[in-house]
């Protein structure tokens, strides 16, 4: 069975919510929609205080090249446009809407039947994806239409679909593949048309056998789409690792996947593309996993953007007594939240409640030069050296060690027997080197 060749770790899977079908989450009383929900520049609000909006109505426009539109997830009246605490721990501009009913924009097709025929042209597809505010739902939230605009001189040969969900605990993509597999495959066809490729490969890890079998049964009805089972390994969901695993090509350092002719999209993104192009439904809700060893009812919910994480925790049975951390995302790359009174955004794949003893960090000791971090780094870097240089503030050396290639997967910090904060040092190094490079280009 295929997998990526360099590095990788095997954290315990803990897929506690894997058998829980997707449930609809109740609408919030007030939706707080941050204006910064994708990589790139924040969006500009186009509604005003007092305005009445419907579900799916455009409320913020992405103006820069790398930015995206935001649509209202609820119907009601705009209370204000003000700063709100969001998952970053800082207060940033957001649109507050008091929810009233659930009235949708009339052009959205809410019927349940699956529309198979793709009548839109390649240009219409890309335009529709941009208008619908679709961003990478794997967590990186890169605006999807930008990925589909292949730069001059490069050609896309294959579309790779990420059904890996390598983070422990998270099961949102798994359930989506099981319950909406057909819509997802149509979404993949739409993406293939936009990229003008004849071949698509869906990568699924072997711990999701039911999803694999389900898609393998459906795939023959869709030309060019194949399903590839993969050996379980973290971080297989990283796009460069996935390309190595299913397509056996290595993306050169500092370059993007299009360099080897590949474009990677998450299964959730493919489903959102189906809904946008076939059903006129913009992106305003997504599947979120709420889980944790002490959580009473772990599950997967279809949540509207702007719902507070607090209400998700309540839905899952309330905050357990001995909760140590509330993490947005998975245990390897997720972010510990300052407060649960923050809204779900397009990139929120899961909410994980760690017990106090699980969450506590071990006190670091000295590096024992075992090089386990070097063995597990999926990008072939040397975390021990990058961390040492970052500690000594030798930023040129940090850059020379290709720290900017780091995908921040956390395998090094996870493996280190001395519990050294390797990833934290590397992140600091990346941040400083980024500043230095920006200053260099300014001169």
Partner 1 sequence: MNDILIYAVIFLSIVGAAAAIILYFIAQKFKVIEDPKIDIVEAALPAANCGGCGYPGCRGFSEALVKSSNEKQSIEGLNCPVGGNEVMAKVAEILGLVAEEKEPQIAVIRCSGSKANAPAKIKYDGPATCAFAHNLSSGESGCPYGCLGLGDCVAACDFDAIYMDQETGLPVVKDNCVACGACVVACPRDIIELRNRGKKDRRIFVSCVNEEKGGVARKNCSVACIGCGKCFKVCPFDAITMENNLAYIDYEKCKLCRKCVVECPTGAIHELNFPPRKEKIVTEDGSPEKVKAKASKDNSDNNKEE
Q: Which residues bind partner 1 (CB under 8 A)?
A: 83, 88-91, 336, 338-339, 360-361, 364, 421, 424-425, 427-428, 431
- Tell me the C-alpha distance between 392 and 386, whole Å: 10
Q: What does residue 285 show for φ and ψ, rounded to 5 degrees?
A: -145, 160
From the CB of 430, what's the least distance to partner 1, in Å?
Answer: 10
Q: Which of 36, 40, 37 is nearest to 65 (CA)?
A: 40
- For partner 1, the closer of residues 92 and 193 by Cβ is 92
Identity of the residue, 229 or 421, whose beta carbon is nearer to partner 1 in the bound complex: 421
Residues 6 or more apart in contact with residue 119 via CB below 8 angstroms: none
Vertex 427, ends 421 and 428: CA angle to 5°?
Answer: 90
Q: How far apart are CA 361 and CA 348, in angstroms?
A: 24
Q: Which is nearer to partner 1, 296 or 361 (CB)?
A: 361
Nearer to partner 1, 4 or 425 (CB): 425
Closest to partner 1 by CB, 220 vs 417, is 417
- DSSP letter at 285? E
Biggest CA pair distance of the chain: 64
Q: How far is the CB of 333 from partner 1 (least distance, A)?
A: 13
Residue 218 or residue 359: which is nearer to partner 1 going by CB? 359
* Other beta carbons less than 10 A from residue 230's beta carbon: 25
SS3 101: coil
Cβ 135 to partner 1 shortest distance, Å: 24
Minimum distance between the CB of residue 89 and partner 1, rounded to whole angstroms?
A: 3
Residue closer to partner 1 (CB basis): 246 or 337:
337
What is the per-residue burial (b if ≥16 Cβ within 10 Å, else e) of 48-64?
A: eeeeebbbbbbbbebee
**Residue 40 CB, nearest approach to partner 1 (Å):** 21
Helix/strand/coil for 344: coil
Which residues, at least 6 apart from 152, have a Cβ–Cβ distance to it below 8 Å?
A: none
Question: Whole-number minimum distance, CB 251 to partner 1, in Å?
Answer: 27
Rounded to whole angstroms, the Cα distance separating 269 from 239 reads: 14
Give the residue with the Cβ less far from partner 1, 97 or 342. Answer: 342
174: its two tokens: 């798994």
Give the separation between CA 216 and CA 333, rounded to whole angstroms.
Answer: 30
Closer by beta carbon to partner 1, 305 or else 428? 428
Could you tell me the smallest distance in angstroms from the CB atom of residue 360 to partner 1?
A: 7
Q: How far apart are CA 293 and CA 274, in angstroms?
A: 34
How far apart are the C-alpha atoms of 168 and 413, rounded to whole Å?
16
* Encoded tokens for 297: 């009812």
Radius of gyration of the chain (CA): 21
């Amino acid at each position: 069975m295929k997998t990526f060749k360099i590095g990788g770790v095997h954290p315990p899977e803990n897929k506690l919510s894997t058998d829980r079908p997707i449930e609809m989450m109740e609408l919030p009383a007030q939706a707080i929609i941050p204006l910064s929900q994708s990589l790139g520049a924040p969006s500009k609000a186009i509604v005003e205080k007092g305005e009445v909006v419907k579900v799916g109505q455009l409320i913020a426009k992405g103006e820069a090249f790398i930015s995206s539109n935001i649509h209202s997830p609820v119907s009601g009246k705009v209370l204000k446009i003000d700063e709100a605490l969001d998952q970053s721990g800082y207060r940033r501009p957001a649109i507050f809407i008091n929810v009233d009913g659930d009235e949708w924009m009339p052009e959205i097709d809410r019927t349940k039947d699956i529309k198979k025929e793709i009548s839109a042209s390649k240009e219409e597809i890309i335009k529709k994806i941009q208008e619908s505010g679709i961003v990478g739902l794997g967590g990186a939230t890169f605006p999807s239409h930008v990925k589909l605009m292949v730069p001059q001189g490069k050609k896309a040969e294959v579309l790779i679909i990420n059904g890996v969900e390598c983070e422990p605990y998270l099961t949102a993509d798994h359930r989506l593949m099981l319950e909406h597999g057909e819509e997802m495959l149509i979404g993949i066809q739409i993406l293939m048309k936009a990229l003008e490729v004849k071949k698509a490969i869906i990568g699924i890890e072997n711990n999701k056998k039911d999803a694999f079998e389900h898609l393998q049964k459906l795939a023959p009805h869709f030309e060019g789409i194949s399903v590839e089972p993969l050996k379980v390994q973290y971080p297989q969901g990283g796009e460069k690792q996935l390309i190595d695993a299913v397509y056996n090509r290595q993306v050169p350092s500092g370059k993007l996947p299009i360099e080897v002719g590949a474009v990677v999209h998450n299964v959730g993104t493919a489903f959102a593309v189906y809904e946008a192009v076939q059903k006129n439904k913009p992106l305003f809700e997504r599947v979120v996993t709420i889980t944790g060893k002490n959580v009473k009812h772990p599950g997967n919910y279809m949540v509207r953007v702007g719902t507070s994480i607090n209400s998700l925790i309540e839905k899952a049975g309330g905050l357990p007594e001995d909760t140590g951390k509330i993490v947005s995302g998975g245990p390897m790359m997720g972010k510990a939240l300052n407060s649960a009174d923050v809204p779900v955004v397009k990139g929120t794949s899961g909410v994980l409640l760690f017990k106090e003893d699980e969450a506590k960090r071990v006190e670091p000791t000295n590096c024992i030069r075992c090089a386990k971090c070097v063995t597990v780094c999926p990008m072939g870097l040397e975390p021990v050296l990058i961390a040492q240089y970052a500690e000594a503030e030798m930023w040129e050396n940090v850059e020379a060690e290709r720290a900017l290639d780091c995908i921040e997967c956390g395998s090094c910090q996870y493996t280190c027997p001395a519990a050294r904060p390797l990833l934290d040092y590397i992140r600091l190094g990346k941040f400083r080197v980024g500043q230095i490079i920006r200053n260099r280009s300014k001169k």
